Structure formats: structure tokens, C-alpha cells
Amino acid sequence: MTIKDIIINYSKKLENISDTPRLDVEILLEKALGGVDNLYIRLNLNKELTKDQEILFNDFIEDRLKGRPIAYIVENREFMGLDFYVKEGVLIPRPDTETLVEELIDICKSKENLHILDIGTGSGAITISLAKYLPTSMVKSLDISDIPLEVGKQNAITNGVSERIEFIKSDLFNSIENTDMKFDVIVSNPPYIPKCDIDTLHTQVKDYEPYNALEGGEDGLDFYRKITAQSKKYIKENGILAYEVGHDQAKDVAEIMVNNGYTNIYTKKDLQGIDRVVIGYKL
Ligand code: GLN
């Protein structure tokens, strides 16, 4: 089969499982052809795949038809213009999270030598893009699980920021409890899906992405309560607490912050117009 036939036939097959079937086929083709770019696909539409390439492509498609996210199949996701290696066990970085990172970069870009704490490393998306775009900052990145810490370390190396990041295994703040560390910025995109909503998530999220990166207790707010209350011990005067929040959680999270002494709280909308980021200052 030629590249063109594959695109036509398999885009149809993926229609039921994916919102972006054609894009998926092209990404899987790029990978099956050994990591070529999209331009190569466009310039070689009449090229036949070799037997090996076809076998590999069919494996990828079979996985995708079962619902496995494209990012896990090709082991890569772009975030903030950077490449992230991803695999099962880490949350796939989302465009919504770029709203949080962009806002932090904007409010921090004139400040030097910031000490930043990211709670919940995942792929390292937030940690690494902040280190990259705030080039004098030092970041500590905490995660309760081993896979995110490994993946984060790897991504820090490939993105050239590993000297300014420390990855620490920690259940929220507990590993730094007996230190006197204080941070200019504490950031988190914690698990925030209410327990009873997990079942309603798309197969590719609920059956593949790590449950403990998704579920935030009965009302989804457990981590905002815990992190905000504990953060007071670790945040500097005038320090910033910044969260990504679920689509209807901004008001509740702002209230939790007010109740813990944060001020000048504001929200930021994502590209779909949803209040996605809540930021406050500790005076
Ligand atoms: N900080 C990571 C991200 O935003 C992981 C977040 C999580 O696992 N809940 O992608």
C-alpha cells in the first residue's frame, strides 16, 4: 500500500476512536517510517511501505483502535514548543496546562534566580518548561511515583535543563518536611477529577493514564485543600501559588486560597474560555 492509500483507508478506521483520525494516521506513519517528519509524508504520497514498516504501522493502528493514546504509542508529546518523552505511568501533557505555564512565565520573566516547587512531576511538562523559559530559575519537582521521576529526569536532560532541576520522590511536601526550604513559586496541576466522574472519562484517559494522576477525591478538590494548607510553611513572603484547575473548580479553589491567607487571587482562561488557572500571592 502507498502512503496515500494508508492515509485514506486508516483515517476511516480510526473515526470511531479518535477526534483527529487523519492526524493520528500521519503521526503513526511518521513513527513507522523511522521518525520522518510530516513534510516527508506529504512529499512521498506514492511511496510504498516496506514489509517491516507495514508490520510496525499495523501494530500501532491495532493499539490505537483499542484506545491507546497516540502519545503513548509514539512515546512523545510536544508541550510549550518542547519535546517530551512519555510512557504509561505519566500523565500526557495537555494544551490547557500551557495556560498555567505561560502565565507563570509572564509574571516571573523579570525576576532572577527564582526558586520554584512543582508538585506532581508527571512527564516533567511544567517543571521543565519553567526551567527552560525562566533560565535563571531553580526547580524542585516532587512526585509520589517512580515512573514520573525517571521520565522527568530523562526529559530534563534532553531539554538541556537538568542542572537546574532536582527531582524528589515525595508524597506532596513530606520529603521536604524537615527542611527549611522556602520557594518563590509553588505550582501544581494536581489530580482534580471527582471520583464519581472517572467512569465518564474517555477510554483513552481512564484505561491508560495513571489513575493517581487523575482522581482528586469525592469533589476533586482534595489536593487543592492539602497543598494550599501545607504550602504556607514553604512559600516565601510575596510568593506565588499557582494551580491548574478543573473546568468548574476555579471559584472553589480561589476560596480555599483565601481561607489560607492568599491574596490578589485571579484566574486565567484557557483557549476554550474556561477558567483554568488560579493564582494567588502570600503576603
Ligand atoms: N505536572 C504534570 C502535568 O501537568 C503532571 C500532572 C499530574 O500528573 N496530575 O502534566
Give 205-238 pLDDT, tens digit per residue: 999 999 999 999 999 999 999 999 999 999 999 9
Give 113-136 pLDDT, tens digit per residue: 999 999 999 999 999 999 999 999
CA 277 to chain centre: 14
Cα-based angle 90, 94, 98 (whole degrees, multiple of 5):
120
Share of the chain above pLDDT 90, in %: 99
Distance 130 CA to ligand 1 centre (A): 13
Largest CA distance in the chain: 64
Q: How far, in Å, are 57, 133, 152, 245 from residue 39 at the CA level?
A: 18, 28, 30, 37
Residues with CB under 6 A from ligand 1: 91, 93, 97, 120, 122-123, 125-126, 189-191, 213
Read off the C-alpha cell for 117. 516547587
Per-residue confidence (pLDDT) for residue 283, from 0 to 100: 86
- Closest ligand 1 atom to Cα of 79: 10
Q: What is the CATH number of domain 3-66?
A: 1.10.8
Share of the chain above pLDDT 70, in %: 100
**Residues across the chain:** 283
Distance 50 CA to ligand 1 centre (A): 38
Residue ranges per structural domain of the chain: 3-66, 88-282
Give 23-76 pLDDT, tens digit per residue: 999 999 999 999 999 999 999 999 999 999 999 999 999 999 999 999 999 999
Residue 11 has pLDDT above 90, yes or no: yes
Half-sphere exposure of 75 (CA within 13 A, CB side): 8
With the C-alpha atoms ordered 157, 158, 161, 165, is the resulting torsion angle positive or negative?
A: negative
Per-residue confidence (pLDDT) for residue 22, from 0 to 100: 97
Sequence-ordered strand ranges (E) for the chain = 76-79, 82-85, 115-119, 138-143, 165-169, 183-188, 235-244, 262-269, 275-282
Distance 189 CA to ligand 1 centre (A): 5
Distance 3 CA to ligand 1 centre (A): 35
Domain 88-282: state its class: alpha beta
User: What's the mean per-residue pLDDT of the chain?
Assistant: 97
Poorest-pLDDT segment among 16-20, 81-85, 114-118: 16-20
